[in-house]
Amino acid sequence: MKNDYVVWAGLLERGKNFCVLDDLDNVKDDFELKEGIPRAEGFPEDASFRMDSEYPKAIALADNVFNISRVIVGSKRLKEFIGKQNPRNIEYLPVTIMNHKARVASKDYFIVHPIHPQDALDVKKSGCTWSEIIEDEIDEIKKLVIDPKRVDPEIPIFRLQHYYRPVLIRRDLAVAISAEGFTGVRWIEPADYPET
């Protein structure tokens, strides 16, 4: 039986020269984005990502832009499509994407930020290793086992409480996003996560 959820991931289609983004700039405490802490109030107007200099020829913008910050950086079109589903736990934080020459490539992108993580990870079955530094945070898992009964059915996109790395999305919404032809998106089955 298929899981109700899949992991949201980026897709680098090398033939299309989609860019990779470096760190998020001008945002204090950006770790809060990974922890699902609300940030819409007071989010800086100059928040931006730079294209990664390690990929100098990669300048095209996908709908879902691959980035090292592990956040969803979506085009205006992708943001609007998700918004039509009326998810009640999503913030849309506007960001500017700067090209390799520090010029504006686009101002029409948003961090699609799921807030209020779900306590849905089956800790025992996932084989978790807890952090020795940060209390109540999981560093690694052997496999990703989700208990769908512990996910609010009105929340289609979420992070997990204690293990913030993956963003999960309800399978039917992932299928709908793929059907619309949005670029730069791929889905990982929970059974295949973490990828080796």
Count CA atoms within 13 Å of residue 20 on its CB side.
15
What was the pLDDT predicted at 12? 82
Q: Output the six-digit token pair for 156.
A: 């289609």
C-alpha distances out from residue 88 to 6, 56, 82, 91, 156, Å:
19, 38, 11, 9, 9
Q: Return d(Cα 70, Cα 146) in angstroms, integer.
A: 20
Quote the DSSP letter at residue 122: -
| Mean pLDDT to the nearest integer, 17-33 | 95
Helix ranges (H only) for the chain are 31-34, 76-83, 123-126, 171-179
What was the pLDDT predicted at 13? 78
Main-chain dihedrals φ then ψ at residue 17, nearest 5 degrees: 55, 40
* Local confidence band at 103 (pLDDT 50, 70, 90 cut-offs): very high
Looking at the predicted structure, is the pLDDT value of residue 1 above 80?
no
Q: For the whole model, what pTM was predicted?
A: 0.94
pLDDT, tens digit (0-9, with 9 covering 90-100), for 148-178: 999 999 999 999 999 999 999 999 999 999 9
C-alpha distances out from residue 55 to 9, 12, 120, Å:
19, 11, 37
Q: Is the bond leading into 87 cis (omega within 30 degrees of zero)? A: no
* Local confidence band at 93 (pLDDT 50, 70, 90 cut-offs): very high
Q: Which residues contact 150 (CB under 8 A, 6 or more apart)?
A: 118, 119, 120
